[in-house]
């Protein structure tokens, strides 16, 4: 199967389907694999968040998607529907402004989701743990707490767990959930700050992928970790020159408060590697502008030490349309770029012209427990996570497919 141009299907649907009223979309595809990817593309032009009024106000509508498969294969419509719902849910979370989706709101969404899943699958299969506010500080989550402590709502680490009895492998999915990123005291300009409600796209993708994994009964243990914080400006903001004491027991000298995503993810992967016994840790984030320079607006960048994991991610990407391309993996050449005279490392690079997107991933990798010997995959979705000021839901299908195939 070749790579289907999901972006062209999405654009065609957006261009030719009216904004209001019921509609029917017919997708002519050669096989069920292409139907899967095309169906996921067709759902994206129908975002759920809209606060327009008057004649432009959203109305209730039905959009029917029909597949004509040339070779006669049956399409798993239920799987596509569950994933499409997940993609649109992630879009809605990303498009919701921080005034309506603060850290506590996101935590409540997670609690509600797990409560609903427990009703269907039981508390022995689905569970949730939340560590928030001062508890993060007391338990030495210096990254998450440091980034989020200046906001009016407390930072949080949410761990949603799915443990079906037949599962033999365990995945830890770690999402960056910066519900708004001002840049902190290294403050962004106006143009650069607009759209920073999307900086929780990694957590939105992990959240929705987790629900799809449970509802489609993927037989893997899956822990979804949401690293939630608002990078706000206030009297309690963390500062450049501060030292953060991370969950990994490593110290970080802050030299850029706008390089905050890697700090919350570092605590997330440290917790996962120390307590969840995963076969693989996957962290996903709208992490660096450098990703767009490396792999563009259509492909996420991936980083891993394992050629097997890299290939697995590329195959999952091709089958879902959430495309990826590898970054340079070279910690021995790049880690010096975080050297600090007073801490184990700084949080931002000393040379922005030296594989900056790879460096951000390696920073996170350094906080994985030294006793952890299994696999790790970093996914940077800064470019494909947004399109025309809207969240895309990128990564939901990718994480789901990786979990299914792993």
Average pLDDT of the residues of the chain = 96
Residue 347: is its pLDDT beyond 50? yes
Instruction: Indicate yes or no: pTM above 0.95.
Output: yes
The CA-based dihedral angle spanning residues 117, 121, 125, 129, taken in that order and rounded to the nearest 10 degrees = 20
391 three-state secondary structure: strand
Calculate mean pLDDT across residues 112-119: 98
pLDDT of residue 107: 98
Which tens digits make up the pLDDT trace of 280-333? 999 999 999 999 999 999 999 999 999 999 999 999 999 999 999 999 999 999
Q: What angle do CA 386, 211, 60 make, to 5 degrees?
A: 65
Catalytic residues: 188, 262
Rounded Cα distance, 337 and 332, in Å: 10
Calculate mean pLDDT across residues 360-385: 98
Beta-strand pair 156-162/126-132:
antiparallel
pLDDT of residue 2: 54
Rounded Cα distance, 115 and 345, in Å: 40
Name the nearest CA neighbour of 360 among 297, 273, 285, 257. Answer: 285
């Amino acid at each position: 199967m070749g790579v289907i141009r999901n972006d062209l299907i999405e654009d065609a649907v957006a261009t030719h389907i009216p904004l209001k009223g019921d509609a029917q979309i017919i997708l002519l595809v050669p096989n069920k694999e292409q139907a899967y990817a095309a169906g996921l593309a067709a759902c994206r032009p129908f975002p759920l968040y809209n606060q327009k009024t008057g004649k432009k106000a959203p109305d209730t509508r039905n959009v029917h998607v029909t597949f004509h498969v040339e070779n006669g294969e049956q399409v798993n419509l239920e799987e596509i529907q569950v994933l499409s719902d997940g993609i649109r849910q992630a879009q809605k979370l990303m498009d919701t402004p921080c005034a309506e989706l603060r850290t506590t709101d996101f935590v409540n969404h997670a609690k509600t989701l797990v409560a609903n899943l427990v009703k269907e699958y039981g508390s022995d299969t689905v569970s949730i743990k939340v560590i928030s506010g001062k508890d993060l500080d007391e338990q030495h989550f210096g990254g998450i707490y440091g980034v989020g402590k200046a906001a009016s709502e407390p930072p949080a680490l949410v761990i949603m767990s799915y443990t079906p009895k037949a599962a033999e492998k365990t995945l830890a999915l770690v999402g960056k959930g910066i519900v708004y990123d001002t840049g902190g005291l290294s403050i962004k300009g106006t143009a650069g700050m607009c759209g920073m409600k999307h900086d929780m796209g990694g957590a939105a993708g992990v959240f929705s992928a987790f629900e799809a994994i449970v509802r489609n009964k993927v037989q893997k243990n899956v822990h979804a970790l949401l690293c939630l914080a608002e990078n706000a400006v206030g009297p309690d903001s963390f500062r450049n020159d501060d030292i953060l004491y991370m969950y990994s027991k490593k110290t970080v000298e802050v030299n850029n408060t706008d390089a905050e995503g890697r700090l919350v993810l570092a605590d997330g992967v440290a917790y996962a590697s120390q307590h969840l016994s995963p076969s693989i840790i996957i962290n996903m984030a709208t992490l660096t502008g450098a990703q767009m320079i490396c792999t563009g607006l259509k492909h996420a960048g991936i980083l891993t030490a394992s050629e097997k994991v890299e290939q697995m991610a590329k195959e999952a990407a091709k089958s879902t349309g959430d495309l990826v391309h590898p970054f340079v993996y070279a910690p021995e050449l790049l880690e010096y770029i975080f050297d600090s005279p007073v801490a184990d490392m700084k949080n931002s690079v000393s040379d922005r012209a030296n594989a900056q997107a790879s460096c951000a991933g390696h920073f996170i990798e350094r906080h994985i427990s030294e006793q952890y010997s299994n696999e790790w995959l970093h996914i940077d979705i800064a470019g494909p996570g947004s399109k025309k000021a809207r969240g895309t839901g990128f990564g939901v299908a990718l994480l789901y497919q990786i979990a299914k195939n792993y």
